[in-house]
Structure 1
Amino acid sequence: MAIVYQTDKRSGITYAYQSTSYWDKEKQQSRAKRTLIGRVDKETGEIVPTDGRNKKKKESSEPIKRGPVPVQNTSRSFYGATYLFDAIGEKLGIIEDLKQCFPDTYKQILSIAYYLLLEDKNPLYRFEKWGSLHKHPYGKNITSQRSSELFASISEEQKNMFFRLQGKRRTEKEYWAYDTTSISSYSECLRQVQYGVNKEDDSLPQINLALVFGESSNLPFYYRKLAGNIPDSKTIKKLIEDLDLLGFSKVKLVLDRGFYSADNINDFYKDHRKFLVGVKTSLSFVKKELDIIHDDFRSFENYSEKYELYHRSVLTKWNYTQERPYKGDTITDRKQLYIHYYYNIDRAADEEKAFDRKLISLKQELESGIRVPEHENQYKKYFDIKTTPKRGVQVKVNEEAIKKAKRYYGFFVLVTNEKMDAITALEIYRNKDVIEKAFGNLKERLNMRRTLVSSEQSLDGKLFVEFIALIYLSYIKKQMQDHDLFKTYTISSALDKLDVIECFEQPGHKLSVGEILEKQKELYHHFGVLPPNSL
């Protein structure tokens, strides 16, 4: 049996028939008997039952029996990977939260996210082929026009509701890592596409994308699109406002040194928010405390064999200020601040070699008389230059200036207002690299290196669906890391191994799943999912 569709040319109505094949003994050939099932709804594509006279069946007064929805089509589809996504979505509450925020379109959002996960780097117009071969939540084709309409329909209110619901499922005890990346764009129509500091040295204008990740859960929680010319340090105030509006005023943030500014640190203290921030060694308060402990820094008791570096912690005071325009005054105070110092010998050697090579190049420029205007300050800082009629240009190295420059090579610094030892702080900070890898996943696997949309609404919606796919991808990646699966698989090969598992559907029967190998069952268990019941 199969479902056959036929359109009435006069009315334009499409009808669905159940076609049953049989053998005609008299004519000695195969024939088919068709039974009208109903008419096809143009909006939803669903079959609306009729009584055979082009009228909808009257509603029965008998209560509707609950149970599995009967299958209307006989089909054979790939199911193993999309089953995994279904299970992860249930586990993380993604499906439930999407359904609450997008009751009419959540299945389409999920299907596109599944497509992005399995067909990395493929454009959305290839969805039709993929959708016809896979069992997925929406179950029907999503054309390029329909996907654009879907993206444009996703509102800020719906997105914020989803962030709020997902955030409640995360633990507020963990640090949340925050970072930004640049996404280049060919579009001249998007207001936030601007020239700025591109983190991949791309010459195109860009938008910036900010992400918040759970430092230990490795799951993304929130994102925001920014104009391409906004520096990182200027985004913190808006981040804090957004987190407050979403009901997460007590979260702890871990940030790299691009987000450091005295104003941001003051705002963290003002809001009683815990932070861990990387800072430059050139900051005066950092150098002041380091100079006190510098000479005996590399003592044996300060060495970490695990991380192969030396570490020291200093408790100091932060000069807190808070301007109060409504009162016309400024509050000052001394707040407790922990500074964690780290020294890596290999890093120091690399920095010193690079500096020496730079000095050689500068000296050659001076002696040859081919001076570079941009290097004038460095010439004056590191060399004594004399010119005589007989001996020409004489260049002598300023040893004191060079020694001073090399004094802080190999050091890096973290500051926090939460009491912890230096190694704990280092581990929390290093876990922040999950967000760097997430940006790589967005740009490479989820095909967001350059935006190809032409409207703000489409871009916002596409980013949201990409974000949904990123939650799944981040969960899968963490499970693979936790179970040491990267020795055997890549993310693609692991998903491919499950993707080949098939399912079978036919009217009057429940869905059945094909054979599952032991290696495939092991993968499901590593991902924290029970394998589907197979034949």
Structure 2
Amino acid sequence: MYAYNHPLFTEKMHIYSDTKVSDFFASITDDQSIGFLNEWNATRDHREKIYISYDSANKNCQAGDIEMVEFGHAKDPRNLPIFNYAVAYDTNNREPLFYEQYPGSIVDISQLQFMLEKAKGYGYKRVGFILDRGYFSKENIRYMDQCGYDFVIMVKGMATFVSGLILENRGKFENKRECNIRKYKTYGMTVRHQLYASDEEERYFHLYYSDQKASAQRKQELLKAVENSPRTYDEIMAFLKEEE
């Protein structure tokens, strides 16, 4: 289906068979792959300020004795060994820049600094990074500061300081018109705060609230309460109505 909806960059947009594509990938050596990545990134405009979105995933593997395949934190737990792969993507120009593959036992949080060094090795200096919560740690934040990189990273919601920020600003923006982000049907505000006690600067924290997500979460909590309660569903609903 991908081939019918995306440019293929083949002569006359010819769609090759799965066998042909598989044979092509099997013929590529590691040196050729590395050479392609080096040449591809050498042609980028390194003077341009860009933001690199970086994310990883893992896949279960039943292929047998492969060095990279190890037991780790599988996203699809089936008691099988896994391998990790990641992609760095230029969000400004909408182009992939490079990819990585690494053993399944390595977690995201420990891989980030290696990726930052790789980006630097490709000549990217005027860059920022967009990262998900899997890369969030004090050490990674400090390392990006040392490298002079800007970054946007999702924080782990259960972190103590995150809960404190949310409670401190609760009720200040959730239903205010000036805080409404219509495109995403979300409310948001930005506050400045230190990330940790020894932090040398204040960071910008972007807080968001979604009525839809809040409603869905309340529904899940209600269903869980019904499952664990000796009362019937109708009794619980009547009780909640009285509380309103």
TM-score, normalisation: structure 2: 0.78
1:338 aligns with 2:204: yes
Paired amino acid for 1:85? F
TM-superposed CA distance for 1:147, in Å, is 6.3
CA distance 1:336–1:153, shift in 2 (3 Å):
closer
The answer (yes or no) to whether the contact 1:251–1:273 under 8 Å persists in 2 is yes
Secondary structure of 2:148's counterpart equals coil
Superposition pairs for residues 18-167 of structure 1, below 5 Å?
A: 85=9, 118-119=15-16, 122-124=18-20, 144=23, 148=26, 150-152=27-29, 154-155=31-32, 157-166=34-43
Structure 2 residue corresponding to 1:184, chosen from 60, 66, 84: 60
1:241 aligns with 2:117: yes
Q: Report the equivalent of 2:159.
A: 283
Paired amino acid for 1:304? I
Distance of 2:228 and 2:70 partners within structure 1 = 35
CA distance 1:216–1:153, shift in 2 (3 Å):
closer
Q: Report the equivalent of 2:134.
A: 258
Unpaired segments ≥5 residues, structure 1: 1-82, 88-113, 128-143, 321-331, 368-535
Unpaired segments ≥5 residues, structure 2: 1-6, 232-244
Paired amino acid for 1:181? A
TM-superposed CA distance for 1:307, in Å, is 1.9
Larger Rg belongs to: 1
Structure 2 residue corresponding to 1:273, chosen from 121, 141, 149: 149
Structure 1 residue corresponding to 2:189, chosen from 304, 307, 312: 312
Distance of 1:198 and 1:84 partners within structure 2 = 32
Structure 1 residue corresponding to 2:227, chosen from 335, 357, 361: 361
1:348 aligns with 2:226: no
Distance of 2:46 and 2:121 partners within structure 1 = 16
Distance of 2:78 and 2:19 partners within structure 1 = 22
Distance of 2:215 and 2:8 partners within structure 1 = 47
Post-superposition CA distance 1:388-447 (Å, at most 9, x none):
xxxxxxxxxxxxxxxxxxxxxxxxxxxxxxxxxxxxxxxxxxxxxxxxxxxxxxxxxxxx
The answer (yes or no) to whether the contact 1:160–1:246 under 8 Å persists in 2 is no
TM-superposed CA distance for 1:222, in Å, is 0.6
Alignment RMSD = 3.0
TM-superposed CA distance for 1:250, in Å, is 3.2
Paired amino acid for 2:98? Y
CA distance 1:318–1:280, shift in 2 (3 Å):
closer
CA distance 1:84–1:222, shift in 2 (3 Å):
closer
Distance of 1:253 and 1:333 partners within structure 2 = 20
TM-superposed CA distance for 1:205, in Å, is 2.2
* Number of residue pairs aligned between Structure 1 and Structure 2: 224
Distance of 2:129 and 2:210 partners within structure 1 = 25
CA distance 1:261–1:153, shift in 2 (3 Å):
closer
Q: Report the equivalent of 1:498.
A: none
Structure 1 residue corresponding to 2:73, chosen from 197, 201, 211: 197
Secondary structure of 1:192's counterpart equals coil
TM-superposed CA distance for 1:203, in Å, is 4.9
The answer (yes or no) to whether the contact 1:172–1:252 under 8 Å persists in 2 is no
CA distance 1:171–1:228, shift in 2 (3 Å):
farther
TM-superposed CA distance for 1:249, in Å, is 3.3
Secondary structure of 1:249's counterpart equals coil
Secondary structure of 2:218's counterpart equals helix
Distance of 1:284 and 1:84 partners within structure 2 = 48
Post-superposition CA distance 1:80-135 (Å, at most 9, x none):
xxx97269xxxxxxxxxxxxxxxxxxxxxxxxxx87xx246x233x88xxxxxxxx
Q: Which structure exhibits the higher relative contact order, with contacts defined as CA atoms closer than 8 Å and separated by 6 or more residues?
A: 1
Distance of 1:349 and 1:84 partners within structure 2 = 42
Secondary structure of 1:195's counterpart equals coil
Distance of 2:129 and 2:25 partners within structure 1 = 35
Q: Report the equivalent of 1:227.
A: 103
TM-superposed CA distance for 1:349, in Å, is 0.7
The answer (yes or no) to whether the contact 1:163–1:246 under 8 Å persists in 2 is no
Post-superposition CA distance 1:273-322 (Å, at most 9, x none):
100011133222222222222123222221222221111110122347xx
* Identity within the alignment, %: 22
TM-score, normalisation: structure 1: 0.38
